[in-house]
Structure 1
Amino acid sequence: MTALETILKAQISAQGPMSVAQFMSLCLLHPKHGYYSTRDPLGTGGDFITAPEISQMFGELIGLCLAQVWIDQGQAAKVALVELGPGRGTLMADILRTIRAVPGFAAACDVHLIEASPHLRAAQKNTLTGYIPTWHDSVATLPDDQPIYCAANEFFDALPIRQMIRNGDGWRERMIGLEGDTLSFGLSEVAPLDALAHRLEDTKDGDLVEHCPAASAIMQTLGARIEANGGAALIFDYGDWRSLGDTLQAVRDHEMVDPLHRPGQSDLSAHVDFEALIADLHCHHSRLTLQGIFLERLGITQRAQALAKSLSGPALDQHIAAHKRLTHADEMGTIFKTLALFPEGANPPAGYET
């Protein structure tokens, strides 16, 4: 039994079952025993690998995309270059290295990182040596008088979700309680939820819909800042246009495991509901686009070919495999999707359509 499991069971015994959102929050961010609070989860030595860790090409193309937005919107003298959930800082490092080739853009950028984990903040500081980032616990404290140029890769999938099961004209919430001395799933009594009223049109009794209030709040703030001051946000994650079914998953050592087994020792995430993500935004948004299509539109194949000229042997094989993993339909190219936020009246960032 993990230390966090003992804490969870004691809390449930004292206060009753907890929501999936409460469970995810404690498992990922408990200050002493949370998954992100105690380890570096990325890479071959961690539990999963993200796109920036696979190849520098991912960050390079995002950097150039944001730079083009900056040029198109008039080259503001001071902007906030933001990343949500920066991991080790690899994506931001690749962006900053790339935009140095765009006259004036790097000098205009102040780096802001949204990161709750002290452990990962330390890793980001080490990766971004030579820069002076400002760390934030939430988007609410980002500058409100500067254009926002934001990247978010696999950030929204880690936000806590509520799982609601259709029950007549209402919902029952999936909860985590105790069966004997074992953590187990159960259901609450009827839980009216206005935010899911529209889902009564396309669901039936017993269907499970996931709802992420934290994601909506973050998007509302980002959208308002971008509409007021300019900029763009590029969002990459796995998921689909509308949530339906149980997508809560746990990963440990690159393998899927039971989400309730050894809490605090595995990464918990859920598929992103992109339709809910852009609901009631105060700015414009692009169409949802497959990651592979987006990267190809920005020229990843040409960039891969240019980099390949200086490679041979195992390094070349790894490079070819990285390009395939990021773009091909049977790998991340289709599973991962992207959309962009930008001001009303502005053109969408390169690679996106409206």
Structure 2
Amino acid sequence: MTPLAEIIAGRIRATGPITLADYMEICLLHPQYGYYATRDPFGVRGDFTTAPEIHQMFGELCGLALAQAWMDQGRPAPFTLAEPGPGRGTLMADMLRAIRKAPGMTEAAEVALIEASPHLRQVQRDRLGAINHLDGVEDLPGKPLFLVANEFFDALPIRQYQRGPDGWCERMVGLSDDGLRLGLGPVVDLPRDGRPGDVVEECPAAPAIVEAIARRIAVHGGAAILVDYGGWNGYGDTFQALRDHRPEDPLAHPGEADLTAHVDFAPLAAAAIRAGAVASRPIHQGDWLMSLGAGQRAERLAAAGDGGAMTALRRLTHPDEMGHLFKAMAIWPKGAPPVPGFDALRLHADHA
């Protein structure tokens, strides 16, 4: 067992099985042995590679989309330019470079990074210089907010429920002779349809985070772009671990593998609307980037000598790569033009 597995096993022996949400939180954020507290997980030397690490065009296009939204809303100043879960700071660095094309935007921007890991906070300072770190979205100031969240919500702890003959039971992490294992708790009241064997996932923290972001946008102006892999209804077991760029059993090496689950965009959109903002329908990442001119940008970079631009374009946009697995959703104030590339959500539409 890893040191963190021993800690988790001791807790289970003392108080009983724990929820998947508790397990994820311990594995990712334990102050001594947690995944994000002990390593830089990004890039070829880490366990996974995010879109900003693939190529600069991703962050540039995100920044240009926010710049257009900022201009459409009358160039508010000052405003907060924020990113939750900013990794190495690569996306923010690329966005800051891109928004220089909008006169006055860089000067009006007050950068805020929402980061829980002390290790990653230092990595971000080394990359971006003196920046403002926040503990959570509730600490965002009451002013116009322009925000991008890329692969942030997939790492938030989830709870899983499996349909049995007598109803839904929560999937729990317990112990066996061989170590940690998944089992089922007692029947719970879950207002979801399903057949025996079906699994549904819920992320308790995500709607509250989106609601807090959207409420600031509804009141003060701004825009948010959320990019992650996922879908619309939360059905299916998507809990997964990635270690050294390969999938593995999520219970095998606690604290030494990245743990994620697909994002259910339906409750996020509902939370944004509940907060008084407009939410877009989630669209394929590839379609969104191409609508912003990713193809033309890649061609220009390739002509200027960037030998990896066209390969990166395929990886970011092609349906067989990240193009369809990843979705993008935007939030903006009522009465403001849509964020570039997005349309307002119609709740009766089919989002399968």
Distance (Å, rounded) in 1 between the aligned partners of 2:199 and 2:245: 26
Aligned to 2:342: 352
**Shift of residue 169, structure 1, vs aligned partner:** 7.7
**Shift of residue 276, structure 1, vs aligned partner:** 1.8
Aligned to 2:240: 249
Distance (Å, rounded) in 1 between the aligned partners of 2:270 and 2:317: 28
Letter in 2 for 1:21: A
C-alpha distance after superposition, 1:206-256 (max 9, x if no partner): 311000011011011011111011100000000111111110000000000
1:147-158 correspondence runs (5 A): 147-158=144-155
Distance (Å, rounded) in 2 between the aligned partners of 1:222 and 1:77: 18
C-alpha distance after superposition, 1:38-86 (max 9, x if no partner): 0000000000000000010001111111011111001111100000110
Aligned to 2:157: 160
Does 1:11 find its partner at 2:15?
no
**Shift of residue 353, structure 1, vs aligned partner:** 1.5
1:1-354 correspondence runs (5 A): 1-129=1-129, 132-144=130-142, 146-167=143-164, 170-193=167-190, 197=191, 199-200=192-193, 203-281=194-272, 282=275, 283-311=277-305, 316=307, 318-354=308-344
CA pair 301-227 structure 1, distance change in 2 beyond 3 A: same
CA pair 169-99 structure 1, distance change in 2 beyond 3 A: farther
CA pair 169-224 structure 1, distance change in 2 beyond 3 A: farther
Distance (Å, rounded) in 1 between the aligned partners of 2:153 and 2:51: 15
Same amino acid, percent of matched pairs: 53
C-alpha distance after superposition, 1:140-169 (max 9, x if no partner): 01002x011000000000000000123468
Letter in 1 for 2:297: R
Distance (Å, rounded) in 2 between the aligned partners of 1:255 and 1:350: 35
Contact persistence 2:166–2:187 (CA under 8 A): no
Letter in 2 for 1:230: G
CA pair 51-181 structure 1, distance change in 2 beyond 3 A: same
**Shift of residue 308, structure 1, vs aligned partner:** 1.1
Distance (Å, rounded) in 1 between the aligned partners of 2:163 and 2:211: 27
| Length-normalised TM-score, structure 1 | 0.94
Letter in 2 for 1:87: G
C-alpha distance after superposition, 1:88-127 (max 9, x if no partner): 0000000011111210111111001111111111111111
Q: Gapped runs of 5+ residues in structure 1?
A: none
**Shift of residue 310, structure 1, vs aligned partner:** 1.7
The number of residues matched between the two structures is 341
**Shift of residue 181, structure 1, vs aligned partner:** 4.8
Letter in 2 for 1:299: G
Q: Gapped runs of 5+ residues in structure 2?
A: 345-352
What is the root-mean-square deviation of aligned Cα atoms in Å?
1.2
Distance (Å, rounded) in 2 between the aligned partners of 1:37 and 1:73: 38
Letter in 2 for 1:285: A
Distance (Å, rounded) in 1 between the aligned partners of 2:187 and 2:232: 26
Distance (Å, rounded) in 1 between the aligned partners of 2:178 and 2:198: 28
Query: Where does structure 1 differ by over 2 angstroms across 4 or more consecutive aligned residues?
Result: 166-171
Letter in 1 for 2:228: D
**Shift of residue 180, structure 1, vs aligned partner:** 2.3
Distance (Å, rounded) in 1 between the aligned partners of 2:237 and 2:45: 28
**Shift of residue 204, structure 1, vs aligned partner:** 1.9
